[in-house]
């Protein structure tokens, strides 16, 4: 009886081994290929009004719209294209040397502060590239004035 049991166990083990081997050989052929990585292209429009209301931002846009610097939708949101116009204007009219990239970084803020200080918009702070409350208040005065004048 023990011999019969040994044969059954051995036979079963052999069949399992053969089945497993067949499965192992078949697996790569039937397995799905890994999916190619997907890359998503996302267009991000950064809006940075530096504390301006929508009408004050429209004022800045209207001011630039009548010049060679304005090539954007006047919507009251200072996005990349609006900031490129501001950067071009600060470069050409206020002697700045800004990258025209539409990013509102410290250099752009310094250029804006220079204009707000020496353009008599009531900015008395340092030209330090930090858009603090004084910078924002002076920019708001400019935006309100240009909205009333150019929009």
pLDDT digit string, tens, across residues 36-62 = 444 433 344 579 999 999 999 999 999
Question: Which among 90, 87, 94 is positioned nearest to 72, based on CA atoms?
Answer: 87
pLDDT tens per residue across span 1-23: 443 333 433 444 443 343 444 33
* H/E element, 103: none
Residue 140 to residue 82: CA distance in whole angstroms: 16
The position carrying tokens 């996005």 is 79
100 neighbors 91 (Cβ within 8 angstroms): yes
Dist CA 11 CA 126 (whole Å): 89
Cβ 53 vs Cβ 75: under 8 Å: no
Q: Please say if the pLDDT value at position 100 is more than 60.
A: yes
Q: What is the pTM of this model?
A: 0.70
pLDDT (tens digit, 9 = 90+) per residue, 107-151? 999 999 999 999 999 999 999 999 999 999 999 999 999 999 999
119 phi/psi in degrees, rounded to 5: -95, 10
């Amino acid at each position: 009886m023990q011999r019969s049991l040994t044969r059954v166990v051995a036979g079963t083990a052999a069949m399992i081994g053969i089945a497993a081997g067949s499965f192992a050989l078949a697996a790569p052929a039937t397995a799905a290929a890994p999916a190619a990585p997907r890359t998503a292209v996302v267009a991000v429009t950064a809006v940075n009004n530096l504390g301006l209301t929508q009408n004050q931002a429209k004022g800045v846009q209207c001011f630039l719209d009548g010049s060679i610097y304005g090539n954007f939708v006047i919507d009251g949101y200072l996005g990349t294209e609006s900031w490129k116009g501001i950067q071009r204007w600060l470069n050409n009219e206020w002697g700045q040397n800004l990258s025209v990239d539409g990013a509102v970084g410290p250099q752009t803020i310094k250029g804006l502060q220079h204009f707000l200080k020496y353009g008599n918009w009531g900015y008395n702070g340092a030209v330090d590239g930090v858009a603090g409350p004084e910078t924002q208040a002076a920019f708001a005065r400019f935006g309100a004035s240009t909205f009333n004048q150019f929009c």
